[in-house]
Amino acid sequence: MKRLKKIIAGVLCVVTVGVLAGCGSKNASNEKVLRVGMEAAYAPFNYTQTDNANGAVKIKGSNEYANGYDVMMAKKIADKIGYTVEINKMEWDGLVPGVNSGKIDVSIAGQSITAERLQTVDFSDPYYKANIVALTKKGTAYENAKSIADLKGAICTSQLNTVWYDMLKQIPDANIQPAMDTVPSLIVALSSGKVNVVAVDKPTAMAAVYSNPDLVMLDLQGDKGFKASDEDVNMGIAIKKGNKELTDKINKALSEISEEERNKMMEEAIKVQPLSK
Protein backbone atom coordinates (compact mmCIF):
# COMPACT_ATOMS: atom_id res chain seq x y z
CA MET A 1 0.00 0.00 0.00
CA LYS A 2 2.81 2.41 0.87
CA ARG A 3 4.47 1.60 -2.44
CA LEU A 4 1.21 2.26 -4.27
CA LYS A 5 0.80 5.61 -2.50
CA LYS A 6 4.34 6.59 -3.50
CA ILE A 7 3.66 5.69 -7.12
CA ILE A 8 0.41 7.69 -7.14
CA ALA A 9 2.15 10.65 -5.52
CA GLY A 10 4.91 10.50 -8.09
CA VAL A 11 2.45 10.43 -10.98
CA LEU A 12 0.55 13.40 -9.55
CA CYS A 13 3.80 15.29 -9.20
CA VAL A 14 4.73 14.64 -12.84
CA VAL A 15 1.26 15.67 -14.02
CA THR A 16 1.42 18.86 -11.96
CA VAL A 17 4.83 19.76 -13.36
CA GLY A 18 3.58 19.02 -16.87
CA VAL A 19 0.58 21.32 -16.45
CA LEU A 20 2.75 24.15 -15.14
CA ALA A 21 5.25 23.68 -17.95
CA GLY A 22 2.45 23.76 -20.53
CA CYS A 23 0.90 27.00 -19.36
CA GLY A 24 3.80 28.93 -17.87
CA SER A 25 5.10 28.66 -14.32
CA LYS A 26 4.23 29.90 -10.85
CA ASN A 27 6.23 31.89 -8.34
CA ALA A 28 6.35 31.67 -4.55
CA SER A 29 3.12 33.68 -4.32
CA ASN A 30 1.40 31.14 -6.59
CA GLU A 31 1.02 33.77 -9.35
CA LYS A 32 1.09 32.67 -12.96
CA VAL A 33 4.39 33.80 -14.46
CA LEU A 34 5.16 34.24 -18.15
CA ARG A 35 8.90 33.67 -18.50
CA VAL A 36 9.96 35.79 -21.45
CA GLY A 37 13.32 35.55 -23.20
CA MET A 38 14.97 38.39 -25.14
CA GLU A 39 18.42 39.83 -25.84
CA ALA A 40 17.73 43.14 -24.10
CA ALA A 41 20.22 44.54 -26.64
CA TYR A 42 18.03 45.14 -29.68
CA ALA A 43 16.59 48.66 -29.48
CA PRO A 44 13.85 49.65 -29.92
CA PHE A 45 12.41 46.15 -29.54
CA ASN A 46 14.27 45.36 -26.33
CA TYR A 47 17.13 46.99 -24.45
CA THR A 48 18.79 47.22 -21.06
CA GLN A 49 18.69 50.17 -18.68
CA THR A 50 19.82 50.82 -15.13
CA ASP A 51 16.46 51.55 -13.48
CA ASN A 52 12.74 50.94 -13.75
CA ALA A 53 11.99 54.24 -15.51
CA ASN A 54 9.21 54.24 -18.10
CA GLY A 55 7.82 50.91 -16.92
CA ALA A 56 10.98 48.82 -17.35
CA VAL A 57 10.98 45.31 -15.86
CA LYS A 58 13.83 43.95 -13.77
CA ILE A 59 15.88 41.27 -15.52
CA LYS A 60 15.93 37.99 -13.60
CA GLY A 61 19.21 37.46 -11.76
CA SER A 62 20.41 40.98 -12.48
CA ASN A 63 20.34 44.52 -11.10
CA GLU A 64 19.46 45.80 -14.57
CA TYR A 65 16.09 46.37 -16.21
CA ALA A 66 14.66 45.63 -19.64
CA ASN A 67 12.42 47.89 -21.67
CA GLY A 68 11.38 48.43 -25.26
CA TYR A 69 8.55 47.38 -27.56
CA ASP A 70 8.91 43.69 -26.68
CA VAL A 71 8.72 44.39 -22.95
CA MET A 72 5.69 46.63 -23.45
CA MET A 73 4.03 43.93 -25.54
CA ALA A 74 4.91 41.21 -23.01
CA LYS A 75 3.34 43.24 -20.19
CA LYS A 76 0.20 43.94 -22.21
CA ILE A 77 -0.24 40.28 -23.18
CA ALA A 78 0.48 39.03 -19.67
CA ASP A 79 -2.06 41.44 -18.22
CA LYS A 80 -4.73 40.23 -20.64
CA ILE A 81 -4.15 36.53 -19.86
CA GLY A 82 -3.70 36.96 -16.11
CA TYR A 83 0.05 36.44 -15.79
CA THR A 84 2.97 38.46 -14.42
CA VAL A 85 6.07 38.98 -16.56
CA GLU A 86 9.54 37.63 -15.84
CA ILE A 87 12.26 38.88 -18.19
CA ASN A 88 15.22 36.59 -18.95
CA LYS A 89 18.17 38.15 -20.76
CA MET A 90 19.63 35.65 -23.23
CA GLU A 91 21.90 35.50 -26.25
CA TRP A 92 20.07 35.58 -29.60
CA ASP A 93 21.17 32.04 -30.47
CA GLY A 94 19.90 30.79 -27.10
CA LEU A 95 16.30 31.96 -27.49
CA VAL A 96 14.84 29.07 -29.49
CA PRO A 97 16.75 26.43 -27.46
CA GLY A 98 15.52 28.21 -24.31
CA VAL A 99 11.91 27.82 -25.44
CA ASN A 100 12.44 24.18 -26.39
CA SER A 101 14.14 23.28 -23.11
CA GLY A 102 11.47 24.97 -21.01
CA LYS A 103 13.92 27.49 -19.57
CA ILE A 104 11.55 30.19 -20.84
CA ASP A 105 7.90 29.98 -21.87
CA VAL A 106 8.15 32.35 -24.82
CA SER A 107 10.63 34.39 -26.77
CA ILE A 108 9.46 37.93 -27.52
CA ALA A 109 12.53 39.25 -29.28
CA GLY A 110 11.80 40.59 -32.75
CA GLN A 111 12.05 37.15 -34.36
CA SER A 112 10.76 36.69 -37.90
CA ILE A 113 8.30 33.85 -38.43
CA THR A 114 10.42 31.82 -40.84
CA ALA A 115 9.81 28.31 -42.18
CA GLU A 116 13.13 27.24 -40.69
CA ARG A 117 12.20 28.40 -37.18
CA LEU A 118 8.75 26.85 -37.49
CA GLN A 119 10.43 23.46 -37.72
CA THR A 120 11.52 23.75 -34.09
CA VAL A 121 9.04 26.13 -32.38
CA ASP A 122 5.48 27.36 -32.81
CA PHE A 123 4.76 31.03 -33.33
CA SER A 124 1.94 33.34 -32.39
CA ASP A 125 0.20 35.50 -34.94
CA PRO A 126 2.42 38.43 -36.01
CA TYR A 127 2.83 41.08 -33.33
CA TYR A 128 4.78 43.48 -35.55
CA LYS A 129 5.62 43.88 -39.24
CA ALA A 130 9.09 45.31 -39.76
CA ASN A 131 10.26 46.19 -43.26
CA ILE A 132 13.98 45.79 -43.97
CA VAL A 133 16.09 48.88 -44.72
CA ALA A 134 19.74 49.88 -44.91
CA LEU A 135 21.82 52.10 -42.64
CA THR A 136 24.88 54.06 -43.66
CA LYS A 137 26.93 56.92 -42.28
CA LYS A 138 26.70 60.53 -43.34
CA GLY A 139 29.43 61.47 -45.77
CA THR A 140 29.75 58.04 -47.40
CA ALA A 141 29.22 57.37 -51.08
CA TYR A 142 25.98 55.63 -50.17
CA GLU A 143 24.31 58.45 -48.23
CA ASN A 144 22.04 59.45 -51.12
CA ALA A 145 21.32 55.96 -52.45
CA LYS A 146 17.91 55.67 -54.10
CA SER A 147 17.94 51.94 -54.72
CA ILE A 148 19.72 48.73 -53.77
CA ALA A 149 21.65 49.07 -57.03
CA ASP A 150 23.18 52.29 -55.66
CA LEU A 151 24.77 50.27 -52.84
CA LYS A 152 26.92 48.38 -55.34
CA GLY A 153 30.25 47.20 -53.88
CA ALA A 154 29.41 48.25 -50.33
CA ILE A 155 31.32 46.71 -47.42
CA CYS A 156 28.37 45.43 -45.45
CA THR A 157 27.20 43.19 -42.65
CA SER A 158 24.26 42.49 -40.35
CA GLN A 159 23.32 40.42 -37.32
CA LEU A 160 24.02 36.72 -37.01
CA ASN A 161 21.15 34.33 -37.81
CA THR A 162 18.78 37.00 -39.09
CA VAL A 163 16.97 37.48 -42.38
CA TRP A 164 18.72 40.85 -42.57
CA TYR A 165 22.06 39.15 -43.22
CA ASP A 166 20.53 37.16 -46.08
CA MET A 167 19.30 40.40 -47.67
CA LEU A 168 22.90 41.57 -48.22
CA LYS A 169 23.19 39.16 -51.16
CA GLN A 170 20.81 41.44 -53.08
CA ILE A 171 23.41 44.24 -53.12
CA PRO A 172 25.40 44.08 -56.40
CA ASP A 173 29.04 43.04 -55.86
CA ALA A 174 28.52 43.29 -52.10
CA ASN A 175 31.62 42.88 -49.94
CA ILE A 176 29.84 40.91 -47.22
CA GLN A 177 31.66 40.74 -43.90
CA PRO A 178 31.07 38.13 -41.16
CA ALA A 179 27.80 38.58 -39.26
CA MET A 180 27.86 40.20 -35.82
CA ASP A 181 26.22 39.13 -32.57
CA THR A 182 24.25 42.25 -31.62
CA VAL A 183 22.76 45.42 -33.05
CA PRO A 184 25.04 47.67 -30.93
CA SER A 185 28.05 45.95 -32.50
CA LEU A 186 26.62 46.76 -35.94
CA ILE A 187 26.27 50.43 -35.02
CA VAL A 188 29.85 50.55 -33.72
CA ALA A 189 31.14 48.93 -36.92
CA LEU A 190 29.21 51.43 -39.03
CA SER A 191 30.18 54.49 -36.99
CA SER A 192 33.85 53.50 -36.96
CA GLY A 193 33.99 52.94 -40.71
CA LYS A 194 34.68 49.21 -40.46
CA VAL A 195 31.67 48.73 -42.74
CA ASN A 196 29.68 51.27 -44.72
CA VAL A 197 26.26 49.60 -44.93
CA VAL A 198 24.25 47.39 -42.59
CA ALA A 199 20.81 45.87 -43.15
CA VAL A 200 18.29 45.97 -40.31
CA ASP A 201 14.54 46.33 -39.88
CA LYS A 202 12.99 49.79 -40.02
CA PRO A 203 12.28 50.24 -36.27
CA THR A 204 15.88 49.28 -35.45
CA ALA A 205 17.13 51.76 -38.04
CA MET A 206 14.84 54.50 -36.70
CA ALA A 207 16.16 53.92 -33.18
CA ALA A 208 19.77 53.92 -34.41
CA VAL A 209 19.35 57.23 -36.26
CA TYR A 210 17.51 58.75 -33.29
CA SER A 211 20.47 57.89 -31.08
CA ASN A 212 23.26 58.50 -33.60
CA PRO A 213 22.78 61.68 -35.69
CA ASP A 214 25.74 60.72 -37.90
CA LEU A 215 23.78 57.78 -39.34
CA VAL A 216 21.34 57.78 -42.25
CA MET A 217 18.44 55.39 -42.81
CA LEU A 218 17.93 54.34 -46.43
CA ASP A 219 14.23 53.42 -46.59
CA LEU A 220 14.24 52.08 -50.12
CA GLN A 221 10.70 51.27 -51.24
CA GLY A 222 9.13 48.83 -53.69
CA ASP A 223 11.29 47.53 -56.51
CA LYS A 224 14.16 49.75 -55.37
CA GLY A 225 14.35 48.16 -51.91
CA PHE A 226 15.20 44.76 -50.44
CA LYS A 227 12.93 42.02 -51.70
CA ALA A 228 11.50 40.34 -48.62
CA SER A 229 8.66 37.89 -48.12
CA ASP A 230 5.99 38.09 -45.41
CA GLU A 231 7.93 35.56 -43.36
CA ASP A 232 10.94 37.87 -43.47
CA VAL A 233 9.11 40.87 -42.01
CA ASN A 234 6.34 39.40 -39.84
CA MET A 235 7.56 39.05 -36.26
CA GLY A 236 6.04 36.53 -33.90
CA ILE A 237 6.28 35.19 -30.38
CA ALA A 238 8.07 31.82 -30.21
CA ILE A 239 6.34 29.15 -28.11
CA LYS A 240 7.24 25.53 -27.45
CA LYS A 241 5.83 23.23 -30.13
CA GLY A 242 2.48 21.77 -29.20
CA ASN A 243 1.68 24.25 -26.42
CA LYS A 244 -1.65 25.12 -28.01
CA GLU A 245 -3.17 26.43 -24.79
CA LEU A 246 -0.58 29.15 -24.35
CA THR A 247 -0.51 29.90 -28.09
CA ASP A 248 -4.28 30.38 -28.15
CA LYS A 249 -4.18 32.65 -25.10
CA ILE A 250 -1.48 34.82 -26.63
CA ASN A 251 -3.23 35.02 -30.01
CA LYS A 252 -6.47 36.07 -28.33
CA ALA A 253 -4.59 38.80 -26.44
CA LEU A 254 -2.91 39.98 -29.64
CA SER A 255 -6.27 40.18 -31.42
CA GLU A 256 -7.35 42.72 -28.80
CA ILE A 257 -4.34 45.02 -29.39
CA SER A 258 -5.02 47.42 -32.26
CA GLU A 259 -2.57 48.53 -34.92
CA GLU A 260 -2.80 52.03 -33.46
CA GLU A 261 -1.78 50.74 -30.01
CA ARG A 262 1.15 48.85 -31.51
CA ASN A 263 2.40 51.91 -33.39
CA LYS A 264 2.14 54.04 -30.25
CA MET A 265 4.15 51.47 -28.29
CA MET A 266 6.88 51.50 -30.93
CA GLU A 267 7.00 55.30 -30.97
CA GLU A 268 7.32 55.30 -27.19
CA ALA A 269 10.03 52.63 -27.25
CA ILE A 270 12.12 54.69 -29.67
CA LYS A 271 11.56 57.85 -27.65
CA VAL A 272 12.58 56.46 -24.24
CA GLN A 273 15.47 54.17 -25.23
CA PRO A 274 18.54 55.05 -23.09
CA LEU A 275 20.72 56.11 -26.03
CA SER A 276 18.13 58.68 -27.13
CA LYS A 277 18.91 60.88 -24.13
94 and 120 inside one domain: yes
Question: pTM here?
Answer: 0.73
Q: Is residue 80 part of a domain?
A: yes
Give domain status of residue 4, yes or no. no
Q: Verify cis geometry, omega within 30 degrees of 0, for the bond prior to 203.
A: no
CA 247 to each of CA 25, 82, 89, 240, 244: distance values in angstroms, whole numbers, following the listed order: 15, 14, 22, 9, 5
In a 3-state reduction of DSSP, which class is residue 165? Answer: helix
With respect to residue 5, please indicate whether it lies within any of the assigned structural domains.
no
**Pair (45, 115) in one structural domain:** yes
Given 191, 207, 227, the domain boundary residue is 227
Question: Residue 195 maps to which CATH number?
Answer: 3.40.190.10
Q: What is the mean pLDDT of residues 49-63?
A: 96
Structural domains of the chain, count: 2
Instruction: Determine the Cα–Cα distance for residues 174 and 42; give it in Å rounded to an integer.
Output: 25
Residues 183 and 65 in one domain: no
Q: Are residues 214 and 95 in the same domain?
A: no
Are 113 and 189 members of one domain?
A: no
Whether the per-residue pLDDT at 19 is higher than 80: the answer is no
Query: Maximum distance among all alpha carbons in the chain?
Result: 82
**What digits encode the pLDDT tens for the residues 29-42?**
678 999 999 999 98
Identify the domain containing residue 179 by its residue range: 132-227
At 34 the three-state DSSP class reads: strand
Is 256 inside any structural domain? yes
The pLDDT tens digits for 224-269 are 999 999 888 899 999 999 999 999 999 999 999 999 999 999 999 9
